[in-house]
Amino acid sequence: MNAQNIYDDPDFQAGYVTLDRQVRGLDGASEWPVLRSLLPDLEGRRVVDLGCGFGWFSRWADEHHAASVLGLDLSTKMLDRARTDTASATVEYRRSDLDVLDLDPGSAEVVFSSLTLHYVQHLDRLLETIALSLTPGGSLVFSVEHPILSAPSIQGFETSATGDRFWKLDNYLVEGERVRTWFVDGVVKQHRTVATYVNSVVGSGLTIERLVEWGPTAVDVEVRPELADDLHRPWFLLLAALKPGNQHR
């Protein structure tokens, strides 16, 4: 296991469990309705959940769509709770380092990953593994921190002399590690450009179906003015891709 396992750090966990999306699950994740809209029909499908965490998505796919789910995560603490919270024989959780993962070829119709791939060091290797694991017509749907969010040396907004707010963007084209403070110091994420995500997916043999740069809409900001800054840069990059071949849908 060569990947960082910050998720088993007690101080990190103490903060992490307070996040709305960990308290309320999928309904606490603002991007979930859009991410869900990118998914194919999951009914009775074999689904792999990369970075399953507490198993929110794995359970949802099982309970709502009778999918057979394999949830993978590096954190034993998260897997322990996922197992405790899941009462289904068709969901299996397994400890796994995505940087050295192997999956059986043709073993899944859907591979899903929420906010995990920006921790992976060897993205091309993982995408090749994913592409091989999918049956023809199968889908990959994932979200990551948006590269505009992950790029800067110091993340934040600033106000100009004229009162305009803007996101301080630097080093967008400089890919590599970014070390952040998020509940604890030393959280390591991999910054990649949008083009790198797209080209890595294409390079794995999958076909890009849809890209979403997720943030609030102008209507969202009318209802919740405190979101105004979030029109300046997206939070998440969502991507849906297909393995060429017969369609499942």
Q: How far is the CB of 182 from a copy of itself (least distance, A)?
A: 21
Q: How far is the CB of 111 from a copy of itself (least distance, A)?
A: 19
Measured distance CA(75)–CA(50) in Å, rounded: 12
Among 89, 218, 219, 223, binds a copy of itself (CB under 8 A): 218
User: Which tokens in the block code for residue 26?
Assistant: 């999928």
Q: How far is the CB of 209 from a copy of itself (least distance, A)?
A: 7
Give whole-number Cα distances, 148 to 54, 156, 167, 212, 221, in Å.
Answer: 27, 11, 9, 13, 20
Q: How far is the CB of 151 from a copy of itself (least distance, A)?
A: 8
User: Which tokens in the block code for residue 141?
Assistant: 């749907």
C-beta closer to a copy of itself: residue 3 or 228: 228
Q: How far is the CB of 208 from a copy of itself (least distance, A)?
A: 4
Selection from 202, 184, 197 nearest residue 236 by Cα: 197
Contact stretch for a copy of itself (CB under 8 A) within 44-52, 75-83, 87-95, 148-156:
148-156
Selection from 116, 97, 99 nearest residue 237 by Cα: 116
Among 99, 122, 193, 205, binds a copy of itself (CB under 8 A): 193
Q: Does 226 bind a copy of itself (CB under 8 A)?
A: no
C-beta closer to a copy of itself: residue 2 or 159: 159
DSSP class of residue 211 equals E
Contact stretch for a copy of itself (CB under 8 A) within 19-27, 93-101, 178-186, 232-240:
232-240
Buried b (16+ CB within 10 A) or exposed e, 3-35: beebbebeebbeebeeeebbeebeeebbbbeeb
Among 26, 115, 188, 194, binds a copy of itself (CB under 8 A): 194
Q: How far is the CB of 51 from a copy of itself (least distance, A)?
A: 22
C-beta closer to a copy of itself: residue 132 or 231: 231
Give whole-number Cα distances, 101 to 87, 88, 96, 244, in Å.
Answer: 26, 24, 7, 23
Structure-token match 């969502």, residue found: 238
Among 36, 125, 167, 188, binds a copy of itself (CB under 8 A): 167
Measured distance CA(76)–CA(127) in Å, rounded: 24
C-beta closer to a copy of itself: residue 58 or 200: 200
Q: How far is the CB of 114 from a copy of itself (least distance, A)?
A: 18
Cα 67-59-11 angle, rounded to 5 deg: 145
Q: Which residues bind a copy of itself (CB under 8 A)?
A: 148, 152-154, 158, 160, 164-174, 193-195, 198-199, 202, 207-213, 215-218, 230-234
